[in-house]
Amino acid sequence: MEKIVEISNIKKNFGNFEVLKGVSFEIKKGEIFGLIGPNGAGKTTTLRILTTIIKPDSGKVKILGYDLQKNSYQIKKVISYLPEEAGAYKNLSGKDYLSFMAEFFAKNKAQKKKILERGCELANLGKALFKKTSTYSKGMLRKLLLAKSLMTKPELAILDEPTSGLDVLSAIEIREKIKSFSKEGVSFLISSHNMLEMEYLCQRIALINKGEIIEKGSPAELKKKYQASNLEEVFVKAIKK
C-alpha cells in the first residue's frame, strides 16, 4: 500500500529541553493512524512539524514524496490541520466561514461551490449554519472546524484531539465522518491522549512518551503482545519495560 507519510528519526529541542528524541513512523493511504500519549509527550510538536509550522532540528519527513524541508509549499496544498484549540471568525456565520476558507482552495467558482456544499453537509448544523460562530457551543464549533478540514478532501488530514470536550453523540458523529473519509482514500494522523477512543478509531497507532516512540502496531497486535484488555493497559505496561 502507498505510503503517504514517512517520518525518520526527527528530533526537536526547545532551548535545553529535548522534546522529540528521534521519532519515526509511516502512514499509508486511507489509513487512520493514531499518535497516542500523555500531555507533554511530544504529540503536538510532531504534528506542528508535519504541518510545516515548525522545523525539526534533524531527521527526515516526506509527505506524498515531498521533502518537508524543500517542498513545504507543495505539502501545504495537500494537507489540512485541525489544532486542539482552533477557532473560527466570530463575526461570520458558519456558512460564510466555510465559504471564506473555500476561497483558498478552489480554482474556480464551480469548484468553490462544490467544496462549500460538501462543507455545509459535513457540518450538519441545520439553521445554525446561518448564525454567527460566536453563538456556537464547543461541539457545534468543533463540527464546523472538522468540516473545514475535510471539505477539500485533503490527501492527509492532521487532527489534534478532534473530539476533545464533546458530548458522546457529537464525538460519535465526528468519528463516523473520519471513518467515512478514510474509506474514500483520505489518510489521517490523529493525536490524542484518549487511548480508548483511538483504539476504536485507528487501524494502527504509535505510543509516544517523553519524546520517544515506545510501541507501534494495530490495537489488536499491541493488546495481544502485552496481554492487555485495552490500550491504556498497553501503555502502562509499555512504559515499564
Low-confidence spans in the chain with pLDDT less than 50: none
CATH number, domain at 109? 3.40.50.300
Domain count, the chain: 1
Given this model, what pLDDT does residue 166 score?
A: 81
Given this model, what pLDDT does residue 33 score?
A: 97
Given this model, what pLDDT does residue 134 score?
A: 92
Given this model, what pLDDT does residue 185 score?
A: 93
**DSSP assignment of the chain, as one string?**
--EEEEEEEEEEEETTEEEEEEEEEEEETT-EEEEE--TTSSHHHHHHHHTTSS--SEEEEEETTEETTT-HHHHHHHEEEE-TT----TTSBHHHHHHHHHTTT-SSHHHHHHHHHHHHHHH--GGGGGSBGGG--HHHHHHHHHHHHHTT--SEEEEESTTTT--HHHHHHHHHHHHHHHHTT-EEEEEES-HHHHHHH-SEEEEEETTEEEEEE-HHHHHHHTT-SSHHHHHHHHHT-
Q: Which domain holds residue 70?
A: 3-239
Residues 41-74 have pLDDT tens digits of 899 999 999 999 999 999 999 999 999 989 988 9
Given this model, what pLDDT does residue 96 score?
A: 95
Given this model, what pLDDT does residue 1 score?
A: 62
Given this model, what pLDDT does residue 173 score?
A: 86
